[in-house]
Homo-oligomer: A and B are copies of this chain.
């Protein structure tokens, strides 16, 4: 099977996105939309959120079309600095047609990886999957059949430091987003620093319940009636980064730990794929330890 190209991107060749966070102040929307209009941009979607009209933070996302994007976007970006400085904005622009590069980390459970691969193959995830990295060799054949390179990097107490070097070397210049698709190793601070708010993990519980290991065993022991999964950006504190998406499913006393795991697999893969999709479409802003998701 050869590498599959999503059909999405081409239809968006003149589409760009802009994400802005700044202290709220009168006139932001007017100024930015006038600015975009003056530069020939046609806003096709905008979403805005103010934490608190007086003195809070302001978040906005624009999706716009601009003729001759490749040439005109740099001009627009250059000119926008004046606006941004005036309002103390943190901001980014993205070209919708420029696919983000995705590196997926996985251990032995393949359901999240498979869902990402399948959605990507169907054109639902608008990305280039540049590699899959695993501490196990098991999924090599499966991944390579999609035309995607597979790197087996064993992680043991002895090889930990070397593995970390290897990881950084592999993704360097080849990944805009790291997805931990049930990768069961701790990510070292140095790696996290390289990808601030660009590493998405799926935790197999409804955080902040059941932080840490064996969440289904913890859930079974506590006798919860609903289980869940949480996709979040990875920060140094374990399972404590900004939550992007969560979902849940009802369980009963009949469900033993194996059942919880089985039911959980479906929740995990669906939640992770949604979070990745939103990141790829530049729908997520992070403020302090929370996310604003314009979906």
Interface residues of chain A, those whose CB is within 8 Å of chain B, are: 1, 26-31, 33-34, 36-38, 42-50, 52-53, 65, 111, 114, 118, 122, 124, 141-142, 145, 206-210, 222-226, 228, 242-248, 250, 252-254, 256, 262, 265-266, 270, 289-293
Query: By the criterion CB–CB under 8 Å, are B262 and A248 in contact?
Result: no
Task: Assess the A222–B209 pair: CB atoms within 8 A.
Answer: no
Chain B residues closer than 8 Å to A36, beta-carbon distance: 30
Which residues from B are CB-within-8-Å of A50?
Answer: 44-45
Q: Give A271 Cβ to nearest chain B Cβ, in Å.
A: 9
Whose C-beta in chain B lies nearest to the C-beta of A290?
B223
The distance from the CB of A59 to the nearest CB of chain B, in whole angstroms, is: 8
Closest to A277 in B: B262
* Contact B111 A118, beta carbon cutoff 8 Å: yes
Dominant secondary structure at the A interface: mixed
Seed contacts A29-B46, A223-B291, A224-B243; 5 additional CB < 8 Å A-B pairs? A30-B37, A47-B48, A208-B210, A222-B289, A266-B270
A42 and B53 alpha carbons, distance in the complex (Å): 9
Closest to A109 in B: B122
Contacts A/B (CB < 8 Å), 20 sampled: A28-B43, A30-B43, A31-B37, A42-B53, A43-B48, A45-B50, A46-B48, A47-B48, A49-B254, A114-B118, A122-B265, A206-B206, A206-B209, A207-B209, A207-B224, A223-B289, A225-B245, A252-B293, A253-B290, A266-B270
Name the distance in Å between A241's Cβ and chain B's nearest Cβ: 10
Are the C-beta atoms of B45 and A34 separated by less than 8 Å?
A: no
Do A45 and B42 touch (CB < 8 A)? no
Contacts of A30 in B (CB 8 A): 30, 33-34, 36-38, 43
Per the bound structure, the CA–CA distance linking A22 and B22 in Å amounts to 30
Q: Give A231 to B169 CA distance when docked, in angstroms.
A: 47
How close is A245's CB to chain B, nearest CB, in angstroms? 6
Say yes or no: A141 contacts B253, CB within 8 Å: no
Q: Which residue in chain B gives the minimum CB-CB distance to A254?
A: B49
Chain B residues positioned under 8 Å from A253 (CB to CB)? 49, 290-293
Contacts of A262 in B (CB 8 A): 124
With A26-B37, A253-B49: A246-B224 Cβ-Cβ less than 8 Å: yes
Q: Is the CB of B43 within 8 A of A29?
A: yes
Task: Tell me the smallest distance from the CB of A111 to a CB of chain B, in Å.
Answer: 7
A208: chain B residues within 8 A (beta carbon) = 209-210, 222, 224
